């Protein structure tokens, strides 16, 4: 199956089940590296691409450190729609963690997506995607970040989510060092 066919099916199923457009993965079908986040935010939904908001700006900074080009990697999320709840203060939609229904729906699509892309390396961004790809709900990013793990047909490389350094600046050095490790892992491409 080609990624275009996958996207058509995912789009139709998502609209049918959730009545909204999904934010599809972005990048070449033959990418050696796949980055996986949690779910799109407001900017991602507006532009229809993953990691284009504040977290995306942070991500780009660190892609530069690792010598990776965004156009050479495939970027996606575990959940392809923006999970929201009303803000208690304003009533406007704000992000929330994905719920069981969203997870049950999208996780199998994520593994199908990985099967199509067939990357050599999968970089999970944050606890959420780590747990889903690693297959262990007790996995903790603080213990596993920056450590390559042989998994199925690829190397899993857990990292903190780029949004985490927006909220916790003390992680910035750790995040940078992990991106430098990626550069070593992929041979400084």
> Domain with 80 in it: what CATH number?
3.40.470.10
Burial label for 61, CB within 10 Å (0-12, 13-18, 19+), is middle
Distances (CA, A) of 163 to 37, 54, 122, 151: 10, 7, 18, 25
Structural domain span for residue 133: 3-185
What pLDDT, on a 0 to 100 scale, did the predictor assign at position 168? 84
Q: What is the number of domains present in the chain?
A: 1
pTM, two decimal places: 0.93
**pLDDT means per 10 residues in the chain (189 residues)?**
95 96 97 96 95 87 88 98 95 93 96 97 95 94 95 94 82 89 77
Helix or strand or coil: residue 172? helix
* CA gap 2, 29 in Å, rounded: 8
Q: No. of H helices and E strands in the chain?
A: 8, 7
What pLDDT, on a 0 to 100 scale, did the predictor assign at position 166? 76
* CA gap 76, 72 in Å, rounded: 13
């Amino acid at each position: 199956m080609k990624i275009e066919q996958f996207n058509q099916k995912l789009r139709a199923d998502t609209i049918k089940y959730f009545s909204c457009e999904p934010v599809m993965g972005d990048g070449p079908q033959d990418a050696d590296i796949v980055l996986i986040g949690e779910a799109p935010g407001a900017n991602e939904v507006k532009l229809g691409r993953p990691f284009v908001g504040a977290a995306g700006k942070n991500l780009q900074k660190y892609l530069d450190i690792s010598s990776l080009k965004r156009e050479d990697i495939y970027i996606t999320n575990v959940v392809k729609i923006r999970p929201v709840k009303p803000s208690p203060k304003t009533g406007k939609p704000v992000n929330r963690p994905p719920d069981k229904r969203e997870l049950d729906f999208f996780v199998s699509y994520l593994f199908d997506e990985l099967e199509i892309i067939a990357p050599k390396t999968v970089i999970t961004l944050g606890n959420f995607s780590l747990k889903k790809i690693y297959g262990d709900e007790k996995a903790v990013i603080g213990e596993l970040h920056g450590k390559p793990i042989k998994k199925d047909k690829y190397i899993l490389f857990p990292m903190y989510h780029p949004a985490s350094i927006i909220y916790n600046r003390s992680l910035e050095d750790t995040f940078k060092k992990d991106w430098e490790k990626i550069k070593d892992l992929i041979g400084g491409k």
